[in-house]
Structure formats: C-alpha cells, structure tokens
Amino acid sequence: MKQPSLCRFSVSMASDLAEQLDEMVKAKGFANRSQALAEMVRDELVSYHGETGSREIAGTVTLVFDHHKRNIQSLLTDIQHDHGDLIISALHVHLDHHTCMEVLAVRGASAAVRKMADRLISAKGVKHGRLTVTTTGKEI
Ligand code: NI
C-alpha cells in the first residue's frame, strides 16, 4: 500500500492532559505522540462515519439470545435473509443449554448496516446485541 503523505501541524493542550497522553503513549507502546494521536483520530473518524451518511463501513453484529424463546431463531434468520447483501459471514455458538451467540460480519453503507443491526438487536427475544463498526480500510 502506498504511504500517505504526512501533514505536520502543532497541537496545544493543557499540560496535565499532555502528561497523561505521554503516559498512555508509553504504556500502550506507541512509537510517539503523533502515532497515538493519529490512531485516536482514526478511531473517532470510524465512529463518525459509522453514524452518518452513506459511507461504506465494515463491522460485526453480536447477538445473544435464548433459542427456546418462541420463533426467535427463525425471526433472526428471516431478517438476515432480507439483508444477504450486507452479511459476509455468520458464526453461531451455543454458549450453554439455553443461550446462543451469533456474530455476523457485515459490510455496506453505514445507514443500511445500522438499520439492519437495529432490526436484529431489537428483535423480541434478543437479550443483548451490539454493532461494532470499523473501517473497510479503504479510506481511513
Ligand atoms: Ni445455539
């Protein structure tokens, strides 16, 4: 992959904040402040793009549910079939006698992915669900 050109700019912040940044840079093993700040900016941009607009995002939807609950499995399957274009892969794990966990790898326009995730997470019988958004790696 081609190295992006670098842009230099100075940052001003409260000195106690800068000291805590330096401690974090050291503790997390970043090479320097610039690398840590770039990582923080990238993380914020991923969240920002995941919330707004039609930009393509990748991510995972994690769902935990009791498969004994009436119709839950077929309801979740129906929703997934409605959005086959957004789901790259699906993993089903039987956590215990009652509880299942599904992890869906998803990719698509942020609004479409979010809408599908909301349908799955709000489906009756889902105990807990979460969409985790990341970048497709193309733009950020
Ligand atoms: Ni199961």
- Ligand 1 center–CA 68 separation, angstroms: 10
Is the pTM here over 0.85, yes or no?
A: no
Give the DSSP letter of residue 6.
P
- Ligand 1 center–CA 101 separation, angstroms: 7
Enter the tokens of residue 131.
Answer: 């969409």
Enter the tokens of residue 4.
Answer: 């992006």
Residue 130 has pLDDT above 90, yes or no: yes
Q: Rounded CA gap, 107 and 113, in Å? A: 7
Pairing between β-strand 126-134 and β-strand 56-66 as defined by DSSP bridges: antiparallel
Residue 140 has pLDDT above 80, yes or no: no
Residue 104 has pLDDT above 70, yes or no: yes
The set of residues, in sequence order, having a beta carbon less than 8 Å from that of 48 and lying 6+ positions away, is none
The full set of domain ranges for the chain reads 15-51, 56-134
- Ligand 1 center–CA 102 separation, angstroms: 8
Residues with CB under 5 A from ligand 1 (ion): 94, 100
Helix (H) or strand (E) holding 106, with range, is strand 99-109
Q: Rounded CA gap, 6 and 11, in Å? A: 15
CATH of region 56-134: 3.30.70.1150
- Ligand 1 center–CA 127 separation, angstroms: 14
| pLDDT of amino acid 1 | 57
Tens-place pLDDT, residues 49-92 = 777 778 899 999 999 999 988 899 999 999 999 999 999 999 99
